Structure 1
Amino acid sequence: MMGPVLAACLLIILSTAWISQANEALCKKDGGVCSCNNNKNSVDCSSKKLTAIPSNIPADTKKLDLQSNKLSSLPSKAFHRLTKLRLLYLNDNKLQTLPAGIFKELKNLETLWVTDNKLQALPIGVFDQLVNLAELRLDRNQLKSLPPRVFDSLTKLTYLSLGYNELQSLPKGVFDKLTSLKELRLYNNQLKRVPEGAFDKLTELKTLKLDNNQLKRVPEGAFDSLEKLKMLQLQENPWDCTCNGIIYMAKWLKKKADEGLGGVDTAGCEKGGKAVLEITEKDAASDCVSPNTTTAIPIGTMTPASVIYDDIHEIKVPQENFQKFLGYQEPDHLPTQPQCLMSISGYLGLMMSLMLTSAAILYVFHFLKKA
């Protein structure tokens, strides 16, 4: 009686195994190299030394893993058929750019990894259609700048990593639309400053990593909105504790230390070895010039011929020299252009009158002499 039951069970097990193997091998038809799992709508093309994306990826794929290949470029319509895609891994390739419109049809995408590539710039609007994206990783690239409003459509983003790039500055308002963001990683860049109000809209932020940059200080009120912050990393920045511009940050860090925030002691002064939160107004008494303020040009400096005259606001010339040059002696103010012209034209008119009068007198004398 047990024999038929065991045989049926064995048949079911073997059938399940065969179906599973068939599913795993589905993408290998037509010479493909990827593995599929139809039950999970998942396609694994990782570590296959691919130089191009396979053309036989099922249209209902929800997870596509292309990491650890040799992709150096992507067609602009590479993913346009995969409208149900939710997870896309492009990390650890050789991508130098992302074509404009490459993610145009991926409105359901929730996770995008493009780490460990060679991206130097991002096209304007490259993420505009990713309205459901929750996680974006762009770390370990060669990004030197970010386009304005590049993240404006990512209102559901909770995780953004830009670490290990070459960012020197951030566009004003670049994070303003990321009101759901919980973790922001900007470590290991070349940031020298943070725009005023950069974090004002990040009221849900719990982790902020700004370590290993070139930050000397942050704008007044920069961290005021970060009430839910749980982790902060600020180490390995040359924080300038000699200028009174550091006082805001010192007071804020001290307050957060009393509230139990982790990482507030990671900001150390460039000189002196003190933690920024220990700095007092006496320590930072100097009213230092802002690094963005240009200093005056020394007297005697030659101005190149390529100077754009629209940028010259005022050229001061001694008033008396200007007056002597024009022959205009009104003491209270410099002559206007019409006045200058009147002075010159009057002078020429007087000279002409004298010449005509002299000629007339000579003519009369000559006439009388003949008579």
Structure 2
Amino acid sequence: MMGPVLAACLLIILSTAWISQANGATCKKDGGVCTCNDQTKNVDCSSKGLTAIPSNIPVDTDNLKLDYNKLSSLPRTAFHSLSSLTYLSLDYNKLQTLPAGIFKELKNLETLWVTDNKLQALPIGVFDHLVNLDKLYLNRNQLKSLPPRVFDKLTKITYLDLEGNKLQSLPNGVFHNLPLLKELHLSYNQLRSVPQGVFDSLSSLNMLYLTNNPWDCTCNDILYMAKWLKKKQDEGLGGVDTAGCEEGGKAVLEITEEEAAEDCVYPNTTTAIPTTIITTLASSNDDDIPELPVPQENFQKFLGYQEPDHLPTQPQCLMSISGYLGLMMFFVLISAAILYVIHFLKKA
């Protein structure tokens, strides 16, 4: 009677071993490329030359670092199994956009870093599910515009960094639903004026950075900002004197109505989102968003890697090959165990 018992035990042991290997394949201790800390729930995949996010990141991960890699695109479901994340870093990659719905399950996320990438546009509603976000870093990208209402759901955010982009204008009401925002960075953009009332709802703001923008102090569009900055300077808001006129070097808050007498019309760039992104990503229902077509011959897609211009790095290839070989060996051993049980039962 020991034959079936031994076979059953063998099945259990093999299954447990395989599950453990599959779940831990991301971590160095199991042959992966990332450093994992089981106590702190931190996973560090930074500076690994990754062209795609490793598979099998532990679902209970709290802190995930993917900075200093070569990520140029992300699948829409990249983080859908990581609902426990409170910290996510995607700094210093090559991302040109973020898929709509990519942060759909990250309702606990508090800090998001996407600095030093190549973001040119953001899909409508991309941050809508980050209802507990506290800090958002989008600085040093190539954003020329922002979608309408892009920050509307970030009602708990205290820090927003848009410095070092190519913003030419701001959408009306872009900051109107951020009552807890304390620090706002808009320096080193291409802003010439701001919409009427754009800062009025920022009741908690104590630091505003506006330097190195070509503020046009000859047009009366600047008067709202000049009066608002002057008032806030008297109330102790920091950074208000960093906004200087493009011509003459005078501080914007010192501009008078006589100096800003012209009626100027600037190109409308507040909704200048590429049509390919609008038609593909603008759906309010994330589940209805169509997948982007991928060529059948895309080898990276077959292996689960997303960057079209580069093959997976050597560690990633080894992880994929070892995973497939492990799966094949698992099924071979399972089949052998089953055949053994059947043979024993026939003899009995």
Per the normalisation by structure 1, the TM-score is: 0.63
Per mean C-alpha deviation after superposition, the further-off stretch among 211-220 and 99-108 is 99-108
Which 5+ residue runs of structure 1 have no aligned equivalent? Answer: 1-26, 42-61, 294-371
User: Which protein is bigger by CA-based radius of gyration?
Assistant: 1
Instruction: State how 1:139-154 maps to structure 2 within 5 Å.
Output: 139-154=115-130
Deviation at 1:31, TM superposition (A): 4.3
Which of 230, 233, 237 is equivalent to 1:257? 233
Deviation at 1:262, TM superposition (A): 0.7
Residue 74 in 1 paired to residue 50 in 2?
A: no
Residue 222 in 1 paired to residue 198 in 2?
A: yes
Which 5+ residue runs of structure 2 have no aligned equivalent? Answer: 1-26, 270-348
2:115 maps to a residue whose letter is: D
Which of 44, 54, 57 is equivalent to 1:65? 44
Aligned residue in 2 for 1:275 = 251
Residue 284 in 1 paired to residue 260 in 2?
A: yes
Which of 162, 179, 198 is equivalent to 2:174? 198
1:262 maps to a residue whose letter is: G
Secondary structure of the residue aligned to 2:221 is helix
Q: Counterparts of 2:210 and 2:98 in 1: how far apart (Å)?
A: 26
Q: Counterparts of 2:228 and 2:89 in 1: how far apart (Å)?
A: 34
Structure 1 pair 126–247 and aligned structure 2 pair: CA distance change class (3 A)? same
Aligned residue-pair number: 243
Deviation at 1:142, TM superposition (A): 0.2
* CA offset digits 1:132-158 (Å, max 9, x no partner): 100000010000000100000001001
* CA offset digits 1:195-223 (Å, max 9, x no partner): 00000001110000000000000000000
Aligned residues: percent identity? 56
Contact 2:209 2:239 in 1 (8 A): yes
Contact 2:166 2:190 in 1 (8 A): yes
Contact 1:74 1:99 in 2 (8 A): no
Deviation at 1:290, TM superposition (A): 3.8
Secondary structure of the residue aligned to 1:220 is coil
Secondary structure of the residue aligned to 1:223 is coil
Deviation at 1:289, TM superposition (A): 2.4
Structure 1 pair 278–253 and aligned structure 2 pair: CA distance change class (3 A)? same
Contact 1:170 1:194 in 2 (8 A): yes
* CA offset digits 1:322-370 (Å, max 9, x no partner): xxxxxxxxxxxxxxxxxxxxxxxxxxxxxxxxxxxxxxxxxxxxxxxxx
Residue 84 in 1 paired to residue 60 in 2?
A: yes
Q: Counterparts of 1:34 and 1:200 in 2: how far apart (Å)?
A: 40
Structure 1 pair 191–32 and aligned structure 2 pair: CA distance change class (3 A)? closer
Secondary structure of the residue aligned to 1:250 is helix
Structure 1 pair 230–29 and aligned structure 2 pair: CA distance change class (3 A)? closer
Secondary structure of the residue aligned to 1:255 is helix
Residue 208 in 1 paired to residue 184 in 2?
A: yes
Secondary structure of the residue aligned to 1:268 is coil
Per the normalisation by structure 2, the TM-score is: 0.67
Deviation at 1:28, TM superposition (A): 5.3
1:237 maps to a residue whose letter is: N
Deviation at 1:35, TM superposition (A): 5.2
Contact 2:112 2:135 in 1 (8 A): yes
Could you say which structure has the greater relative contact order, defined with CA pairs below 8 angstroms and 6 or more residues apart?
Answer: 2
Q: Counterparts of 2:32 and 2:61 in 1: how far apart (Å)?
A: 20
Structure 1 pair 92–248 and aligned structure 2 pair: CA distance change class (3 A)? same
Deviation at 1:74, TM superposition (A): 2.8
